[in-house]
């Protein structure tokens, strides 16, 4: 693995780090296994792609994609809270329906190339742009979790009984967290779209698993579970994941190829989840 490949790994890691923060908000903070992400990631990429192609300001395109992601999260929240459909199925349904919506957004074509179009990376160092964007998102969400509002969101994931007894509207808290989460995933999709210079309808497949892998690696690297570290740990986890994958795919000894990516990621998550259990059993 050469320097260029490591830099590119860090870049992709930073982009998916933003999605990982979103996944951490639902899976960890409010304990809601949200499956919307595979759809909202593409929604972000599609919105950004179509806007960039029509000559829109790339930063404005990112804002629009963030808003689109938030709406996707709101849809899942409404399906879950008001129609009383289980949290897992609500997300799956939204992601399923988003496939059609994403194709609509992309004007009926499954692929939008953006070669030569002005993006947030035009005339700037990609790693610098990504680092600044990531730091901003990390700062905002670390602060959010340190507020009374953030504490109320965390209470939902800890104990619904305590939460209700102390005045938290669980439906509303779920909807807000889902919106924030999918807004970040949409943003991540849009940045990915501008970084890769194309939008594709199948771009979002595996966002959830990759994000979850990043969250878990982050938790292993920062085991002291302080609210100040949850958010940055997701981004660091995402970068470490990319570098790990890069080394795994480039090592001659293992003989792994690009198509083995999903298998490695899946095994990585299983090991991360199973390892502490085995350790406890042995002592």
Q: Could you give the CA distance from residue 29 to residue 31 in angstroms, rounded to a whole number?
A: 6
CB of 157 to another protein, least distance (A): 9
Of 231, 215, 217, whose CA–CA distance to 145 is shortest?
231
Minimum distance of another protein from residue 146's CB (angstroms):
5
Closest distance of CB 277 from another protein, Å: 18
Q: Which is nearer to another protein, 173 or 212 (CB)?
A: 173
Nearer to another protein, 162 or 275 (CB): 162
- Alpha carbon distances (Å) from 220 to 2, 230, 243: 26, 11, 16
Residue 181: closest CA among 63, 90, 74, 46: 74
Can you tell me which residue has the tokens 């090592």?
A: 251
3-state secondary structure of 138: helix
Short-list 28, 35, 42, CA closest to 196: 42
Q: CB–CB of 231/283 below 8 Å?
A: no
Q: Which residues bind another protein (CB under 8 A)?
A: 143-144, 146-152, 154-155, 158-159, 161-162, 164-170, 225
CB of residue 19 to another protein, shortest distance in Å = 23
The backbone torsions φ and ψ at residue 83, rounded to the nearest 5 degrees and listed phi first, read: -100, 5
User: What's the closest the beta carbon of residue 228 comes to another protein, in angstroms?
Assistant: 10
230 Cα distance to chain centroid: 14
CB 255 → another protein: shortest distance, Å? 42
Write out the H or E segment, with its range, that includes residue 199. strand 198-200
Nearer to another protein by Cβ, of 55 and 167: the residue is 167
Question: Phi/psi zone of residue 84: left (φ > 0), alpha (ψ -120 to 50 degrees), beta?
Answer: left
**Among residues 38 and 219, whose Cβ is nearest to another protein?**
219
In which element (H, E) is residue 278 found? helix 261-282
- For residues 59 and 143, which CB has a smaller minimum distance to another protein in the complex? 143
Q: Which is nearer to another protein, 132 or 228 (CB)?
A: 228
Residue 15 or 70: the one with the smaller Cβ distance to another protein is: 70
Residue 150: CB minimum distance to another protein, A: 8
């Amino acid at each position: 693995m050469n320097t260029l490949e490591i830099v590119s790994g860090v870049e992709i890691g930073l982009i998916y780090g933003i999605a990982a923060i979103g996944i951490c908000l639902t899976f960890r903070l409010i304990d809601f296994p949200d499956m919307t992400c595979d759809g909202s990631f593409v929604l972000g990429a599609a919105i950004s792609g179509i806007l960039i192609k029509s000559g829109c300001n790339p930063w404005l395109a990112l804002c629009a994609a963030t808003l689109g992601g938030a709406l996707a999260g709101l849809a899942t929240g409404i399906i879950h809270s008001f129609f009383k459909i289980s949290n897992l199925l609500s997300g799956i349904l939204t992601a399923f329906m988003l496939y059609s919506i994403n194709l609509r957004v992309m004007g009926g074509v499954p692929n939008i190339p953006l070669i030569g179009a002005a993006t947030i990376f035009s005339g700037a160092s990609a790693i610098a742009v990504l680092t600044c964007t990531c730091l901003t998102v990390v700062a905002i969400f670390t602060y959010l979790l340190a507020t009374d509002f953030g504490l109320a969101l965390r209470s939902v994931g800890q104990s619904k009984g305590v939460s209700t007894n102390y005045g938290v509207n669980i439906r509303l808290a779920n909807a807000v967290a889902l919106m924030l989460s999918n807004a970040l995933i949409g943003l991540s999709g849009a940045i990915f779209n501008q970084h890769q210079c194309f939008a594709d309808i199948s771009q979002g497949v595996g966002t959830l698993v990759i994000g979850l892998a990043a969250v878990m690696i982050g938790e292993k690297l920062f085991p002291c579970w302080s609210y100040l570290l949850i958010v940055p740990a997701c981004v660091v986890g995402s970068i470490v994941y990319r570098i790990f994958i890069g080394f795994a795919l480039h090592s001659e000894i293992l003989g792994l190829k690009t198509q083995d990516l999903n298998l490695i990621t899946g095994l990585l998550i299983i090991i991360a989840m199973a390892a502490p259990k085995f350790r406890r059993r042995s002592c």
